[in-house]
Amino acid sequence: MITFEEVSLVYPNGVHALSNVNLSVARGEFLFLVGGTGQGKSSVLKCIYREANPTSGDVVVDDWRLSTLPHGQVPFLRRKVGVVFQDFKLLRGKTVWENVAYALQVTGAGSRDVMRRVPRALEMVGIAHKSKMFPHELSGGEQQRTAIARSLVNNPLIMLCDEPTGNLDPETSSEIMALLARINSKGTTMVVATHNQASVDRMRRRVVRLVHGRVAHDEERGRYHVGLG
Amino acid sequence: MDWGKTHFFWAEVAQNFTRNATMALTAIGTVAISIIVLGVFLFARTSFNLVLDNVVNKVDIAVYLKDEASASDIDTMMRKLRADKRVDSVRFVSKQEALDTLRKRLAGQVNLGLINVNPLPNSFVVHTGDPTEVPALASDLQTNPNVAFVNYGSKVTDKLLVIRRVLGSIGLGVIILLLVATALIIYNTIRLTVFARQREITIMQLVGATNWTIRWPFVFEGLLTGLTGALVGLLVLWPAYQTLAPKLSLNLPFLPLNLADVSVSRIALELVLVGALVGMLASWLSVSRYLRPA
């Protein structure tokens, strides 16, 4: 589903974010990306949704070879790759319903489709009862559920989560992780960059540790401290 | 067009307008003020040009004919003049008519009854459509063998034409400068409204909105802001014009200006067009800055 072929990424300011990363994620897999701040977790995610373009090497997502993907095709890639952030990135002027519907509407979906799929996504993440509220009226966990519903509504092949529980208390964090596991169990490939040691250790999924932009360790059913001795 | 998509588009525009009301109102207010300033200057320039035109348009060419010119010569000249594209109107003034006019003018001062012979020549009074044609037409007529001499007050007329040209260019320059200033003010205001929503644009890109899906509502909002601003400006300008214009004519009676000749509706249309077009373009340019490839 996702393949990194010798990917190196140097940002315009000269920072070497990734060095010769080789990584392969199978369809339906659940992968934790761990490592300290600035070790390249976010950069890996950015390369998958084409926010960053590798300086060398190539990333293949489903059938898209991203180095040759024309700029005009990027929106279509992103409809198949849902992204969830630590700061939620919700549209403040829109209600929960509108935020989720928006991701569908920009794809040109008709109103019947919107009416059918938005409630389903809201129910899946357990936020249907707050659909008329604005983001600032919600708790952090509820905002993150809304963001997950938004990335879910287009039936993505892949979901990328960048520190999805970074702003949440431990209890809410476990709920969100459980929600991500449930979405993954329905077939969505899941890549989660996280510092949430408790969840990683409890869930025992594949863990990839990045150090200085390189894959330092890659272990099936790993723990948070994999590769740290 | 799919109803769902149309509805989405209009809902986006309406929502952005109502949920960012302060920003929208500030932008509309700025556009309105710019349009008012521009409107006042456009009106002043149009009126000023009309005054200059009215002065210059009073210039006629008097063509005095030789006494030897026969009736058929005069007839031929008349036809030629009427056929000339530069000529707006021609009037033949016979010797007798000229004498009668002179008699009337000097009545009570000089007794012209003593004169037995009419010394005045036959003449044409020629009016051109465009006053700048006067000097060239006058020198053409001078070469006609039947013409004794041509008079159009050349010194005064030449000066008037130069003054009109210079003042006309200055007026145009001022208007162009003002137009640029207005455009820049509107552009900057709208740029700020787009800048405030930079985060929104990033999110739209994240969820897979194409550049056009993002751009259209912004462009349309820019158009609406410009249009509404211009209309608000006109709402202020119109009553001001209705109140002040009669006083202007009353206080400056010596100005050869008929306010009815100032095409206020045309100025209004120009102002609305400026507001709408600049608003739309400003949005377009501002959004495009954020839509460049990653």
pLDDT of B191 reads: 82
Amino acid at position B85, single letter? K
Is the pLDDT at B22 greater than 90? The verdict is no
Query: Mean pLDDT throughout B159-172?
Result: 84
pLDDT digits (tens, 9 = 90+) for A83-119: 999 899 998 889 999 999 999 988 888 888 999 999 9
Q: How many CB pairs under 8 A join A and B?
A: 71
CA distance B98 to B120: 7
Is the pLDDT at B2 greater than 70? The verdict is no
Contact A143, A125 (CB under 8 A): no
Chain A: residue whose CA lies nearest to B294: A51
pLDDT digits (tens, 9 = 90+) for B90-125: 999 988 888 888 888 887 777 767 777 888 899 999
Contact B164, B48 (CB under 8 A): no
Contact (CB<8Å) B203/A91: yes
Residues of chain B with C-beta less than 8 angstroms from the C-beta of A114? 4
Contact (CB<8Å) A102/B15: no
pLDDT digits (tens, 9 = 90+) for B224-281: 989 999 999 999 999 988 888 788 777 776 666 777 777 888 889 989 998 899 889 8
Contact (CB<8Å) B294/A154: no
Among B7, B20, B204, beta carbon nearest to A106: B204
- Residue A58: φ, ψ to 5°: -145, 155
Query: Is residue B293 very low, low, confident or very high in pLDDT (cuts 50, 70, 90)?
Result: low
Contact A201, A229 (CB under 8 A): no
Non-local CB neighbours of A94 within 8 Å, separated by 6+ positions? A102, A134, B15
Is the pLDDT at B1 greater than 60? The verdict is no
Non-local CB neighbours of A41 within 8 Å, separated by 6+ positions? A33, A34, A35, A162, A193, A210
pTM over 0.80: no
Is the pLDDT at A228 greater than 90? The verdict is no
- Supply the ipTM of this predicted assembly: 0.84
Query: Mean pLDDT throughout A163-185?
Result: 92
Contact B179, B38 (CB under 8 A): yes
Closest-CA distance of chain B to residue A108, Å: 6
